[in-house]
Copies of this chain bind each other. A is one copy, B any other.
Amino acid sequence: MPHEILIATESDLRQAVSLDLETVTTVEDAFKVLASGTVVMPPILSMAIEAANGEVDVKTAYIPGFDGFAIKVSPGFFDNPKLGLPSLNGLMILFSAKTGLVDALFLDNGYLTDIRTAAAGAVAAKHLAPASVRTAGVFGTGAQARLQIEAAHLVRPFERVLVWGRDTAKAADCAADIAARLGIEARAEADPEKVVAGSELVVTTTSARAPILKEEWLHPGLHVTAMGSDQGEKNEIEPGALAAADLYVCDRATQCETLGELRSALAAGMWNKGTPPELGAVVTGTHPGRQNDEAVTICDLTGTGAQDTAIATLAHKICSARGVGSKMAV
């Protein structure tokens, strides 16, 4: 018996799904349910294809209360730029959580991942950053540097952005893009310590394999969201910083232990506070969040299948309502 599925391409999805408060709320809801312990989220399936300097990850999660569950496939082939192709690609498939039938194919080339990743940064900033943020800093100059700042600005409308990157020209470009996009002041800052010193909110978005944000730079009233590390070799935050902060929060503790900043801290013997609280627990209030304006908080984001299910569900809702994408009988 054929049934109809929705197929949406990257350009369809760019038209339909934006980084806005609805998106942030959808991802926030996913973290809430994640905290309830009822989400089913298997370990990430990961395969390396060394011959092509490539890898592919598959993530999924079932969130009770969501009509569907997404399976996301994210290939990363790091020689692609030599061929004029982007390194990162991929697609999401949304299945009915009632029947397992395919509801939608999102041929997004990673766009929905970009959006749901940035939205998680906004959830972290909303619940952990000081109530008032005048200056936000960002480490890194790529797509997530721009999107994380845009997302954080939805929940903390700061006036100024400081951008640090290894490549100062790219940092200047990134700052110019941010300034144009948000209509606020943004500039490159060559000294990462000054970025942290001058900011109440810092987002690290790099693929660093050695710390770029030092423990001694932590200052009262700082929140750091570290979203760059999503693999066992990556590390942006000096290991001692996690325990030195008043509150360190994981998106998913089991993932952060192997893929996030927590891995480096554990490996260095610098974390001895047991299993850290998760972002969802802070969102729902089962774990206390920021206690006062002077607290130092750190949130470690490795990316969860729950976010994928959330963004795919939202994309399906919007595309269906607006008639975006095409239908196919399968």
Contacts and interface: CB of A to CB of B under 8 A. Distances in A.
Interface of A: 1-2, 5, 7, 9-10, 40-49, 51-52, 54, 56, 58, 60-62, 64, 69, 71, 73, 75-77, 80, 83-85, 89-91, 93, 95, 97-102, 105, 107, 109, 328-330
Q: Which 9 pairs between the two chains have the least Cβ-Cβ distance?
A: A75-B100, A45-B45, A77-B100, A107-B330, A9-B330, A42-B47, A49-B62, A77-B99, A89-B100
B5 A107 contact: yes
A35 to B, nearest CB: 19
A291 to B, nearest CB: 37
A1 B42 contact: no
A55 to B, nearest CB: 8
A244 B47 CA distance: 37
A73 B45 CA distance: 12
B64 A93 contact: no
A45 B47 contact: no
Contacts of A73: 71, 93, 95
Contact of A60 (B1, B47, B54, B97): B47
22 contacts: A2-B9, A5-B107, A9-B328, A40-B49, A42-B46, A42-B47, A44-B45, A47-B61, A47-B62, A51-B97, A52-B98, A54-B97, A56-B71, A73-B95, A75-B95, A75-B100, A76-B100, A85-B99, A90-B100, A102-B107, A107-B328, A109-B330
